[in-house]
Amino acid sequence: MAIEHEVETTGLVGWIDRRFPLTSTWKKHVSEYYAPKNFNFWYFFGSLALLVLVNQIVTGIFLTMNYKPDATLAFSSVEYIMREVPWGWLIRYMHSTGASMFFVVVYLHMFRGLLYGSYRKPRELVWVFGCAIFLCLMAEAFFGYLLPWGQMSFWGAQVIVNLFSAIPFIGPDLSLWIRGDYVVSDVTLNRFFAFHVIAIPLVLIGLVVAHLVALHEVGSNNPDGIEIKAKKDPDGIPLDGIPFHPYYSVHDFMGVTVFLIIFAAIIFFAPEMGGYFLEANNFIPANPLQTPQEIAPVWYFTAFYAMLRATTDPFKIVLMIIVALLGLFALVRARGKWKLGLPVLAVLVVLAMAFTESKFWGVVVMGGAVISLFFLPWLDRSPVKSIRYRPFFHKVFYGIFVLAFLTLGFLGTKPPSPASTLIAQICALIYFAFFLGMPVWTRLGTFKQPPERVRFKPH
């Protein structure tokens, strides 16, 4: 028996319901959306990401009221917001701190999905939408980074845009098209401003809505990786489910309270976070004639930046050997001509690497590190979803992967050296080996049998 969503028929709400699905939408997605009753700490971060998104939109609107997207006025307008606009400093710090906290909660939200197999069937599309949100968020942060028009903003944008010039044939024209000029200039600032405040937020909001709709269509995952829709009572209500409201709305309110305390502490006591949230060089007006001693992106990009920087000519040779071995392995496993696609692709990639510069392959490695996440639902072949019921060595692999990613993030904040470059290369190989080896290692070992019902302890 399906759950029926009754609607109001009298009063103002009834008048609206006859013209707009207000009550039925509320019941379907909130008060009668049944979520697993064994959610834990890791399930705070989805709602926190939504909270920070709202914070970024609201504070961004107020900032644009006084910001001037003009190369001669941008920096001074930011200073005007900080010093002259009533509570402007608070709004600016809420926005800058919110940018970093957005990535904190999104990274933790994605890690939870990795732990409990939230990307597995039937939630593949939920995961793909989530990865698209992450990619969109990176673009939003990149476009917004130029707007203060400080030294690091200017030169960071210059370096990142110049990366596109490494693409064979179309690279120089593509980087020129992105900048709108031969160097980062007023034209670049204006188009980055348009992307940051209009284009990307519209796409981001659309993806968030699609993410939530897809999630509520298939239902939420849980730490046990059990589908609660498989066991329902005579009324069609999952036996292991509870209404999202009021149970998880109150649950999430507690998480929001703790988060806001931390958020406020950063804003009022350490808005720069030792230079990780706001770099010292960005308090200096952009000077096209003076390059900072060290140009590095904000902390949430440093892991991918470290991969880019680690792709040297010797490392390119290592990558060529690895690709060739993967092609040979695919050739050995091929049992018909129709399966020769991967070996042929490997040969083409090796030839392309031989005749192109390492800078281009650094861009490919950096982009591939993000794109790999999209394929996670089809790479993981484990018979169980949750890490709770996987072999111990699976947990070790997850730990090594996280350690490698954190190491890359740390190295990306430091000046390059032979030792750090070597470590970054090893960590980059571990990062990609985690994904490429998934079809093999996720099947191995002795798996525990998941329970028929979710494990839950009242608290």
Q: For the segment 327-369, what is each residue's pLDDT rounded down to a tens digit?
A: 787 777 766 555 666 777 777 777 777 777 888 888 899 999 9
Residue 1: pLDDT band with limits 50, 70, 90: very low
- 2 pLDDT more than 50: no
Query: Whole-angstrom Cα distance, residue 304 to residue 409?
Result: 7
* Contacts made by residues 122-128, CB under 8 angstroms, sequence distance 24+: 122/218, 123/214, 123/215, 123/218, 123/221, 123/377, 124/377, 124/378, 125/214, 126/211, 126/214, 126/215, 126/218, 127/376, 127/377, 128/374, 128/377
27-283 against 299-441: fold identical: yes
The fraction of the chain above a pLDDT of 90, given in percent, is: 62
Give the model's pLDDT for residue 340: 64
CATH number of 299-441: 1.20.810.10
Q: According to the annotation, is 196 in a ligand binding site?
A: yes
How would DSSP label each residue in 161-178? HHHGGGSTTTHHHHHHHH
Q: Where are the alpha helices (DSSP H) in 311-444?
A: 313-333, 341-354, 358-371, 376-379, 392-411, 418-436, 438-441
Checking if the pLDDT of 437 tops 70, the result is yes
Output the CATH code of domain 27-283.
1.20.810.10
| pLDDT on residue 109 | 96
Cβ-count burial 138-158 (b if 16+ within 10 Å, e if not): bebbbbbbbbbbbbbbbbbbb
Residue 403 has pLDDT above 90, yes or no: yes
394 annotated as ligand-binding: no
211 in a known ligand binding site:
yes
Q: Is 95 annotated among the ligand-binding residues?
A: yes
Measured in degrees and rounded to the nearest 5, phi and psi for residue 232 equal -125, 160
- Domain ranges for the chain, please list them: 27-283, 299-441
Please write the tens of the pLDDT for every residue from 111-144. Answer: 999 999 999 999 999 999 999 999 999 999 999 9
CA angle 137/143/144 to nearest 5° reads 85
Percent of the chain with pLDDT over 70: 96
**Mean per-residue pLDDT over the chain, rounded:** 90
User: E strand or H helix at 243, and its extent?
Assistant: strand 241-243
